[in-house]
Structure 1
Amino acid sequence: MTTMEAENTVPDPHRLPLDVRPTHYDLTVRTDLEKLEFDGNVSVHLEVQKDTTELVFHSTGLELSDFRITGFEHSLSSVLFDKDNERVKVGLPFELRKGSTAVFHIKFRGPLTGSLAGYYRSSWKNDGKEEYYSLTQFEATSARRAFPCWDEPLLKATFSIALISRENLVNLSNMNVESEDPYANVSEEVHSKSEQWKITRFAKTPPMSTYLVAYANGPFEHRESSYVSPLSGKTRPLRIYATKDIIHQVQFTLDVTQKVLPLYEKLFDIEYPLPKLDTLVAHDCDAAAMENWGLITGRTTSYCLDSSNAALHTQKIIAAMQSHETAHMWFGNITTMAWWDNLYLNEGFASLMGEVVAMDKMFPEWKIQAEFLNFHLNKALLRDAKLSSHPVEVECPDANNILQIFDAMSYSKAASVLRMLLTYVGEEVFFRGVSAYLKKHLYANSVSRDLWDAIGEAAGVDVTKMMQTWMCETGFPVVTVRETAKSIIVRQDRFLETGQPEEKDNQIIWSIPLNLAIIESDGQLKVNHAITLNEKEIEIPLDTSRSYKLNVGTSSYCRVLYPSERLSKLSQQAAAKPPVFPLSDRIGLVHDVFSLASAGHTELSVALDLVHELGKGEEEFLAWEGMRDSVGNLVSLWWEDDTVHDLLQIFQKNLYAPLVAKLGYDYDDNESPDVKQLRTLVISGCLDAGDSKQVDCSFVRTALNIIRSIIKELRRRFDVAMETGDESIFVAELETPIYVAAVRYGGRREYDIVRGIFDNPSSPSARTSAIVALCNPADVQLIEETFKFILTDVKEQDYLEFISYLSLNRKAKRQVAQFMMGHFDKIYEKFSGNFQLNMMISQSFERLTTKEDAEVVQEFFKASPRLQAQGSELTERLS
């Protein structure tokens, strides 16, 4: 056997050849947490699809040895390592014939690094001492970092996994434990007479893609529950695993899991296929959570809740996270996209199912359908309005760039378009089609057409034709309305934040459900769901002396531009008491008007007037959240213009302060979720609007005095808690505002205290609040200290949070970009291959606003060939 190095040795650098296909892996992994390393062996059962004298598979960062094929004792001709494409080519001195089978054996060894990818280590404090445990993160292409494999989603196989570890530790994997026995076959190098080892064997998995394989080893404790399948009557165990310092905070996650699994079984008419579902809560994760089949993994901030003092916002995050990941047990795990260009079949559906449909059924009081508009729909529309946007179904031939498509298009736009389709065909028909799609592709792979055909057959509609444009074209339409006395004329054009599209960008015709509502004399809405805009322009008979509105429910993925007189009437009706339009329409109207104003389709004063009028009587938190986000985006855009920025801050002061005066600071357990969240929003809004010099205007002075009293009260609560050690004064809903007020309006003392809270938090939410505060000093020297702190004392998983919150601090925006450019090589090396890198780059630069900034960024990216595409995209955003 000869071993050599080579570059670009595989003819197709993007996909593995299909000469052979894996059908089963026997995988054994030994973990040594004292030496922070692992080793093992894998036997891959192969079906030969084509006569071949070579095997090509994935591996990177591993030491490989003892290559052999069962039944052949010949030495292998060669082993060629292709580092750039993370592949190994093994030359055979014989031919494997089409139709035959073979078993390929390899031994491997590797380090447990802190990379957050592959098989890696996580650290935690056990009675003040740092200790380690191990876990996996394989999506999208990191299984190859842990064991040699055919690491593509199409190449599904079954897995029999065995984990060897020290006897006092817990082993976890996708399936249930079949046996656990003492293990003596450990080398003298790692084995001593005083310690015992064990081998844990897990049941064989169903066919699955390599990115869903998972295992972990550590001193885990667990909480346990179960659910009864509504389809079969079987009882399945549910467990949440964590280290002892956080295990008491996982009950809410367990409760959500118990509720959502039977709900999905009924919706999809398919039973959860595995004998158990575990969740491992980890101190270090790249992604917020990962849907490994049978063993979900996620961050402490995604899954831990202090039940004695839990903010509603935190409950929502955890419920949405676990519902999303559990939805993947069907969308992604049972039925998997054939390649990453169809990622949205996983993520769009999990976002819709987990964060809208299931959440709405489990927690109707949270008004999740309306919250979706703020969190997903508007985020997607804002991103998709950029020249740098891309289709949902995007070509992704190069595996090295797969992580770039885990973005708002694959998640939020896909979920928004699927929600539009659900509304169009009806929920019952939609899920009948979805169930048929899943059943047809059980344990297999699929492409977009498979889903559209199934829903189309259930609905009796050509769904494929309708969805093709939404998924395969960039952007979305603005529906422009013109009126005559007896009709409205509606026209579609591509919407761009830069204004009018060029002719080449305006040729797409979308199929748009218009959802036209007529407002009856009794104030009720009569909605026509049958009208769709399938051409450039149509005329709809309508008595325009009557009140009407398009896109009722804000369910279609578009903006709507009305004549100014009609928009004025709609604004008045939205602000009426009681409002004519439901919550979702008021939210959608605000987002539309601000976006249209930013693109120059209407005056900005119209958008501000709408918020001013709505703010007088609006009582719904989610409507206020939409107004806050829209105004906040505007403030952020003008951060360098002191005059405009100060005027917008005055606008915010007068928007929020009256509600603080009305709602006060005290929270009541019997209050509705709306009131609790609204109080937190307006207090935080006043804090963001900030203290400022006295203004010679009575209504501004009143608001300013309220804001000063807020700052004083928040700082008082911080001081009392720090002096007495009693944090009960920290109402969970105000934890972040209290920390931020202390650091922003305090000094070195407060900064150091919050730094201590970050190092030793009482809960994951306290740690997150500390991060927000450490990124929000007014003192430039303390801001600089936070930047230094990132490089020396911040875990890899927290880099993105620090970068994101610093980029929101007006005094740190440009420093964030300078920090990224100054330390880029180190950051790139640390995060290459992780989900966070692309988002950190975007957060570092996209809030800059000048041409000079754009030129600097462009030159920076030109110097890095790997990032030229990302640099071009960011330059377009900046310009």
Structure 2
Amino acid sequence: MPVNAQEGAVAMSAASSPYRLPGNVRPVHYGRDSVDEEFAYDAECCLLDLNIKTDLESLSFQGVVVVDLEVSEETSEIVFNAAEDIKLNAIVLHIQSQSLEKEDLQFGTDLDPQYERVTIRTRKPLLEGSKPQLTIVFGGKLSGSSLGYHSSSYQVNGTQKHCSVTQFEPTFARRAFPCWDEPAFKASYKITMVSREETVNISNMPVASEKAYTSAQATGGYGIWSTLSSAFSYLTLRKGAEPQSDIKAFSLGDGRWKSTEFETSPVMSTYLVAFANGDFKVVEDSYTSPISEKVIPVRVYTTPDGEGQAEWSLNVSKTVMPLYEKVFDVEFPLPKLDTLVANDYHGAMENWGLIIGQPNVYLMDPNKPDFNTTQRIAEVQTHEIAHQWFGNIVTMSWWDNLWLNEGFATIMGALIILGESYNIALTDRPDNFLVKPEWNSSARFLISQTSDALALDSRRSSHPIQNPVDNPNEIKQLLDQLTYAKAASVLRMLSAYVGEEQFLKGVSLYLKKHLYGNSTANDLWDGIAEATGLDIRSLMDNWITKIGYPVVTVTEKESGVIHIRQDRFLVDGSPSSEENKTLWNVPLSILTSDEIFKKSTAQHTLLDQRETDIQLDTTKPFKLNGGSTGVYRVRYSTERAQAIAKEAAKEDSIFKTEDRIGLVSDTLALAQASLSDTSSLLNVIELFKDDKENLGWTAMNDAITKLVNIFWEDEELSEGLRIFQQSLYAPIVERLGYDNQDDEAVDVKGLRTLAIARAAAVGEPKVVKELLSRWKAYNEGDESAIPADILGATFRVAVEHGGRAEWETMKKIYESGSSPATHLPAIGGMCNSKDPELIKEVIEYTKKPLRTQDFDSFWITLANNPFARRISIDYTYENFDAITERFGRGFNTMKNIIESTFGKLTTEEDATKLESFLENKDTAGYNMAVAQTLELIRVNTKWRKNATEDVKGWLDERKMI
């Protein structure tokens, strides 16, 4: 990126914020590719770079970084980021381009742990255009925090081993090395790693050279250490400390060591820097760039416990890389793409050239494949690869535009690349890439993304997609469903409105214009505007800058006319006049038995005012939001809603899967908001009970689960809804059986898995008996007795209908299993007991140093067990301080604990108690989750009160209570 353009991006930062860095001094390069004779370092020392020495035995690291800087405005201060996690041992300041005496370069420093900033104040000002260089010596511990540069553990033959990995998004690079830790401060990197000889080092770029690292290099026999120990500008940063007479270099313990030098990277933001060290195994392949015809290596690294389970991830990588090059018309600029799979990691991270993710989203036992795992790996990796362009080559200027990265990667990974729902012009997909139209990515997107986004955004405690943020606690909380799912859903709506081909053409124009730079949402809108000729800024402004979304109410007037009106949708009732000021540009997409009205044929498809009338033949079936591409709810009269549902239930209906999913989702939301009877939801589900599609059933199951959860402490209604669910799922199991056939569509396999799991969960006797029989055979050594797709359901049934013996077996499977194929089902089994003592033992078990992702899985799964909820709640209250001490500085674990533990409560007393309890607690890192959970409890309370008699009457009419 041109220097002046990047300076502009930095200058636009909130200069007055104590959390933000001034833009007058910026890094150009971390590491030195040339040696200045005046300030000579010995090239053999390998310390001209961002140099990290990792010791996996002591779980510590040491580092030296040389940063080339550029001064754009005269200043006497250099300000950069460093967190307390790293100890800064020494700083050397040197200037090549400004004539100063050595004594003029003396400086003082301030270390501000609250704002994670270090300020160097020089005796004489640094002139505009000068190019200082900082050399900083630092070190730290490889903690298990899953943030910064941290350790990751795994088991080999019962022995715990460690590797080290990075997680720097959003503001955790400063926990690993001193840096300018904001996305607009892009710089290039020259990284060298020193490690034990038997380990493997990987980073963003390919290895340039690797050689032995000797004790002479480590103990000061070369220029860097003598320069530091006698430097005119050296000082210690710890208050009260006397300057050291000698600077210790990298200390080497027993064993043999090596240094691995990596090629210099293009300019990138600090949060995308990555490096790792460990005993890694690798599978590799390559793809040929359709633009340059270069052969680009792709690899997947794993720890030894994951060896042999990464082939599908590799297959996804090598297949989607050339597809992205075609879609964006921009060649992948790096010489390789690696992926590392490691424990103690949150999801996956798109580091440029070195994606890192947890086993649950990357590994699949080839001997135990299942569709859900296959699809999840494909979606996650396709998402992360999208970032290699959208986020890494072009990066948001500040974190308020984080949604720009995540929303776009989500729509690409979950919809456009994996599916063919928009008839994207990529006809040469390789035959071995098992992504077919039958995945129905468009319908799946509604369930996995839009549904959760709309649920969260219907609360007053929501936030705009583009939300002003300042400090790190605010930034990390933006990594939520609004930033990912709502942003992706809004982009899907725009793509459907302007046409996918034009949408992607605009994206390509945007990328090409801002290559290697920083951008904002308006830059993307301008690219799409250039491709479409539309005013995209005006069209999209309220969707990203305002909280919430509309409900469009349809009122039928005289024959041939419907009146439509938009108002903000709130799940706890009607908005106030102040809350209802926003007017959205709503693409109505009216679907009739004749056609979908498009902008080119009808002027009234975009609702850009409060209300209007539309000419429409209401004697024919019609539905607003055809294909459910819009981010809004639709409310009809009771009669019209029932008529649409009846039409959608027909096998030859013009309303497809996406429309049925949208109807279920809207009916659920309107019931929650008391804008319709909850029995209307039950009626729709009853009408759709003959649906043959897995995704339609998935939407219905999600709706039923939400309804069941508000009555979980009402014994009579819980029993009635259990019987209702049995009547839905038992016939499907009876029709489909238990075992997948090779020639079956994935949709059939998915529906079988869902129906068996739900029938077992509601105690359908025949299904429970069959699964217990299979469990017995499995437990006696016949692993083939339980197909991978129903392993989770079987494990849960075994513990629910068993006792301590089954629970102990699950624990053994969990502790010995190295594959997610058994790992996650075992957690589900352990958490599914009805026995209070076993539930308490699970909670005690989570006090152990579990893998970070496993703790979250245990806690969320416990919350889904109604017999465990009150026990978990009591434990959380009693041990809150200890839980906070353990997870308070973590990524989003406290958020997950609050939401999962308390989010299914349904009384005002519970809301008041939680609110009072947290009133004096420091919830700065998860205050959004607290507000959203408190509101949800009150929404649940209101819905339960309003729906009780209605649901009771519906069930009584069908003799289910």
TM-score of the pair, normalised by structure 1: 0.94
User: Once the two structures are aligned, what percentage of the paired residues are identical?
Assistant: 42
User: What's the offset of the Cα at 1:837?
Assistant: 2.8
Mapped to 2, the partners of 1:213 and 1:829 lie a distance apart of: 28
- Which residue among 853, 858, 870 is the counterpart of 1:814? 870
Mapped to 2, the partners of 1:652 and 1:815 lie a distance apart of: 26
Are 2:242 and 1:186 aligned? no
Are 2:65 and 1:33 aligned? no
Mapped to 1, the partners of 2:144 and 2:668 lie a distance apart of: 43
CA gap of 1:267–1:830, structure 2 versus 1, over 3 A, is same
Are 2:942 and 1:877 aligned? no
The secondary structure found in structure 2 opposite 1:535 is coil
Mapped to 2, the partners of 1:571 and 1:796 lie a distance apart of: 44
The secondary structure found in structure 2 opposite 1:66 is strand
Code of the aligned partner of 1:417? V
Query: Deviation digits for residues 634-662 of structure 1, max 9, x if unmatched?
Result: 10122112222222112111111111111
- Which residue among 570, 594, 598 is the counterpart of 1:528? 598
Mapped to 2, the partners of 1:236 and 1:73 lie a distance apart of: 48
Code of the aligned partner of 1:345? L
Mapped to 2, the partners of 1:352 and 1:816 lie a distance apart of: 36
Aligned ranges 1:386-401 → 2 under 5 Å: 386-401=459-474
User: What's the offset of the Cα at 1:431?
Assistant: 0.8
Query: Deviation digits for residues 79-107 of structure 1, max 9, x if unmatched?
Result: 21111111111222222111111111100
Code of the aligned partner of 1:852? E
Partner of 1:315: 374
Give unmatched runs, 5+ long, in structure 2.
1-14, 32-49, 96-100, 220-248, 421-434, 939-961
The secondary structure found in structure 1 opposite 2:308 is helix
Cα contact 1:124–1:131 (8 A) shared by 2: yes
Mapped to 2, the partners of 1:465 and 1:84 lie a distance apart of: 40
User: What's the offset of the Cα at 1:840?
Assistant: 2.5
Code of the aligned partner of 2:158? G
- Which residue among 207, 210, 222 is the counterpart of 2:267? 207
The secondary structure found in structure 1 opposite 2:916 is helix
Cα contact 1:517–1:528 (8 A) shared by 2: no
CA gap of 1:191–1:602, structure 2 versus 1, over 3 A, is closer
The secondary structure found in structure 1 opposite 2:388 is coil
Are 2:343 and 1:343 aligned? no
Aligned ranges 1:533-682 → 2 under 5 Å: 533-615=607-689, 617-682=690-755
Cα contact 2:149–2:175 (8 A) shared by 1: yes
The secondary structure found in structure 2 opposite 1:735 is helix
Partner of 1:694: none
Code of the aligned partner of 2:116? E
Cα contact 1:68–1:76 (8 A) shared by 2: no
CA gap of 1:253–1:870, structure 2 versus 1, over 3 A, is closer
Partner of 1:775: 831
Partner of 2:330: 270
Aligned ranges 1:740-779 → 2 under 5 Å: 740-779=796-835
User: What's the offset of the Cα at 1:220?
Assistant: 0.9
- Which residue among 232, 255, 259 is the counterpart of 2:292? 232
Mapped to 2, the partners of 1:550 and 1:871 lie a distance apart of: 35
Are 2:46 and 1:14 aligned? no
- Which residue among 837, 840, 852 is the counterpart of 2:909? 852
The secondary structure found in structure 1 opposite 2:716 is helix
Code of the aligned partner of 2:614? I
Give unmatched runs, 5+ long, in structure 1.
1-9, 691-706
Are 2:283 and 1:223 aligned? yes
User: What's the offset of the Cα at 1:497?
Assistant: 0.8
Mapped to 1, the partners of 2:930 and 2:651 lie a distance apart of: 49
Cα contact 1:167–1:182 (8 A) shared by 2: yes
Q: Which runs of 4+ in 1 moved over 6 A?
A: none
The secondary structure found in structure 2 opposite 1:314 is helix
The secondary structure found in structure 2 opposite 1:327 is helix
Mapped to 2, the partners of 1:256 and 1:25 lie a distance apart of: 33
- Which residue among 843, 846, 868 is the counterpart of 1:790? 846
Are 2:791 and 1:735 aligned? yes
Partner of 2:147: 117
Mapped to 1, the partners of 2:631 and 2:454 lie a distance apart of: 8
Code of the aligned partner of 2:360? T
Code of the aligned partner of 1:281? V
Cα contact 2:152–2:163 (8 A) shared by 1: yes
Mapped to 2, the partners of 1:551 and 1:221 lie a distance apart of: 49
The secondary structure found in structure 2 opposite 1:305 is coil
Partner of 2:361: 302
Aligned ranges 1:140-539 → 2 under 5 Å: 140-184=170-214, 185-187=217-219, 190-191=251-252, 195-285=255-345, 287-361=346-420, 362-484=435-557, 485-520=559-594, 525-529=595-599, 530=602, 531-539=605-613
Aligned ranges 1:131-142 → 2 under 5 Å: 131-142=161-172
Mapped to 1, the partners of 2:200 and 2:88 lie a distance apart of: 27
Mapped to 2, the partners of 1:799 and 1:50 lie a distance apart of: 49
Query: Deviation digits for residues 297-351 of structure 1, max 9, x if unmatched?
Result: 0011111111122110000110001000000001110011111110011000000
Partner of 1:697: none
User: What's the offset of the Cα at 1:277?
Assistant: 0.2
Mapped to 2, the partners of 1:562 and 1:528 lie a distance apart of: 21
Superposition CA RMSD, Å: 1.6
User: What's the offset of the Cα at 1:708?
Assistant: 1.0
Mapped to 1, the partners of 2:64 and 2:615 lie a distance apart of: 72
Code of the aligned partner of 1:18? G
Cα contact 1:820–1:841 (8 A) shared by 2: no
Mapped to 2, the partners of 1:364 and 1:56 lie a distance apart of: 53
Cα contact 2:53–2:250 (8 A) shared by 1: no
Partner of 1:68: 92
Cα contact 1:115–1:830 (8 A) shared by 2: no
TM-score of the pair, normalised by structure 2: 0.86
CA gap of 1:231–1:869, structure 2 versus 1, over 3 A, is closer
Cα contact 2:510–2:524 (8 A) shared by 1: yes
Mapped to 1, the partners of 2:505 and 2:370 lie a distance apart of: 37
User: What's the offset of the Cα at 1:128?
Assistant: 2.0
Are 2:754 and 1:720 aligned? no
Mapped to 1, the partners of 2:297 and 2:308 lie a distance apart of: 19
Are 2:72 and 1:49 aligned? yes
User: What's the offset of the Cα at 1:76?
Assistant: 4.1
Cα contact 1:175–1:203 (8 A) shared by 2: yes
Mapped to 2, the partners of 1:233 and 1:688 lie a distance apart of: 53
Cα contact 2:753–2:790 (8 A) shared by 1: yes
- Which residue among 884, 887, 893 is the counterpart of 1:836? 893
User: What's the offset of the Cα at 1:548?
Assistant: 1.4
Mapped to 2, the partners of 1:679 and 1:553 lie a distance apart of: 25
Mapped to 2, the partners of 1:453 and 1:869 lie a distance apart of: 32
The secondary structure found in structure 2 opposite 1:792 is coil
Cα contact 1:403–1:833 (8 A) shared by 2: no
User: What's the offset of the Cα at 1:870?
Assistant: 4.5
User: What's the offset of the Cα at 1:874?
Assistant: 2.7
The secondary structure found in structure 2 opposite 1:528 is coil
Number of corresponding residues: 846
Q: Which moved more, 1:557-566 or 1:751-760?
A: 557-566
Mapped to 2, the partners of 1:213 and 1:860 lie a distance apart of: 40
Cα contact 2:146–2:890 (8 A) shared by 1: no
Mapped to 2, the partners of 1:179 and 1:878 lie a distance apart of: 58
CA gap of 1:639–1:456, structure 2 versus 1, over 3 A, is same
Query: Deviation digits for residues 139-175 of structure 1, max 9, x if unmatched?
Result: 1111011100010011111000000111111110000
